[in-house]
């Protein structure tokens, strides 16, 4: 049926599609793919190889490689994987990249975001154009409750940053590599260290410092 409607199945015998699934034309489904439940896949996508999507919505021209999605909504022109996991409640905006070994849970991710590799984003909102460095973790669970992290548009989160929720990172703010952030970061500021503090820069020609 799907091949007759313009979908390419590279190996139909190694592809598993539930009866309630919908797939747009010119999409390519590669071997080892399971499309389950009420998954909707848009046009001109590439799904697989080795991808499992359950009750997901995928926009047009998106590419999902060797990854798992469960109840996630994925926008147009998105790249996911390989080896990533999108858990229930996840919304991924257009042109965003979720790269290798990244996990996103119950989070709203805006357009043009980069979560390139080795990161956990949970109970979080990410504004447009945010960059998440490798090894970043949103520390959303304190042993009793889950807490929210808000990262505003244009923020740059350095590699290995620990964001201890509840927490807000302001617009265009920066965290340095390895920062452990336990307080809100104001817009435009750079915070570094453990625990993270505003970066202090020495003014040229003077012994005084200025935050």
Distance between CA 65 and CA 171 in Å, rounded? 31
Handedness of CA 177, 182, 186, 187 (dihedral sign): positive
Coil, strand or helix at 184:
coil
Q: List, by residue number, the catalytic residues.
A: 117
Distance between CA 49 and CA 64 in Å, rounded? 8
Q: List, as own/partner pairs, every contact residues 27-36 make where C-beta atoms lie below 8 angstroms and the sequence separation is at least 24, other chains included.
A: 29/2
Distance between CA 29 and CA 25 in Å, rounded? 11
* 85 contacts 101 by C-beta, under 8 angstroms: no
């Amino acid at each position: 049926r799907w091949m007759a409607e313009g979908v390419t199945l590279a190996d139909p015998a190694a592809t598993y599609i539930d009866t309630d699934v919908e797939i747009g034309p010119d999409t390519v489904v590669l071997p080892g793919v399971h499309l389950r439940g009420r998954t909707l896949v848009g046009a001109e996508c590439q799904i697989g190889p080795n991808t499992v999507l359950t009750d997901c919505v995928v926009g047009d021209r998106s590419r999902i490689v060797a990854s798992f999605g469960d109840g996630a909504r994925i926008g147009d022109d998105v790249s996911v994987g390989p080896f990533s996991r999108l858990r229930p409640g996840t919304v991924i905006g257009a042109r965003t990249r979720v790269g290798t070994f990244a996990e996103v849970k119950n989070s709203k991710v805006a357009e043009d975001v980069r979560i390139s590799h080795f990161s956990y984003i949970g109970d979080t909102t990410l504004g447009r154009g945010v960059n998440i460095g490798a090894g970043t973790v949103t520390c959303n669970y304190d042993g009793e409750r889950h807490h929210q992290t808000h990262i505003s548009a244009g923020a740059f989160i350095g590699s290995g940053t620990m964001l201890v929720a509840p927490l807000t990172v302001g617009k265009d703010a920066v965290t340095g590599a390895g920062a452990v952030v336990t307080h809100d970061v104001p817009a435009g500021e750079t915070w570094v260290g453990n625990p993270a503090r505003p970066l202090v820069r020495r003014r040229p020609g003077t012994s005084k410092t200025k935050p």
